[in-house]
Amino acid sequence: MLFSHDQACHQCAYVGKASVLKLLCYASDLPSGVRQGQLPGACEQVACALDGQKVVDLLPSSSHLLHYYAPDVALPASNAHCTQVEDALQDRHYGVWAGRSLRDMSAAEQLSFLSDPTFAPPEGESFSAFCRRTTQWLQAVGQMAQPAVVLARPAVVRSLVTYVLYPAEGSVTMAHAARVDVQPGSYSLLTCHAGQWRVGMLNAPA
């Protein structure tokens, strides 16, 4: 899926006139309980079936890629590239609500959780704090000129993509996130050139 310049650009740190940062984001599988309607926990390392040949096809001129990965994603056993764990790429922290279903919440809890971006579950993280954490990481990595791969859960990839698509608000909102779907096992490409972030590809299948 391709986007126009106006739809999919956002200012990032300038990395040189000829430099283009390519960030290939791979969305891992979902945590096991999510398909049963449960909020995910941070302890489970979900599977990540990254296809090395697919990476070569999408980043053909790159070698010895740095792989940024979240601690809640299991690295592929065959990965031979340099790796760097990034706590900022973890899924949202749901605190004591991890493993809990929305059906088990009171009406007031559901309303707060689904409509208030500043609401945080007990010992957990708000939607706003989660998005701020991931987008601050993206802003920092935008200063790099070398292509890289991100291995993270779908919610994290969605947060990064949404930040690039909707820069005018200054932060990702719940309404923006609801307009973007990132499928497990898919590839999305973000690029930064001449101070602008763009979405070059979204949800390419494995």
pLDDT at 11 over 80: no
**1 within domain boundaries:** no
**4 within domain boundaries:** no
**175 within domain boundaries:** yes
Q: Which domain holds residue 20?
A: 9-204
pLDDT at 15 over 80: no
**3 within domain boundaries:** no
- Bin 34: left if φ > 0, else alpha if -120 < ψ < 50, else beta: alpha
Domain count, the chain: 1
Q: Which of 149, 144, 141 is nearest to 16 (CA)?
A: 144
pLDDT tens digit sequence for 18-51: 478 899 999 999 998 998 899 998 788 998 999 9
Residue 79 confidence class, pLDDT cut points 50, 70, 90: low
pTM: 0.88
**72 within domain boundaries:** yes
Q: What is the CATH number of the domain that holds 146?
A: 3.40.50.1240
**2 within domain boundaries:** no
Element (H, E) at 196: strand 196-204
**54 within domain boundaries:** yes
Query: What's the first-to-final CA gap in the chain, in angstroms?
Result: 14
Identity at 39, one-letter amino acid code: L
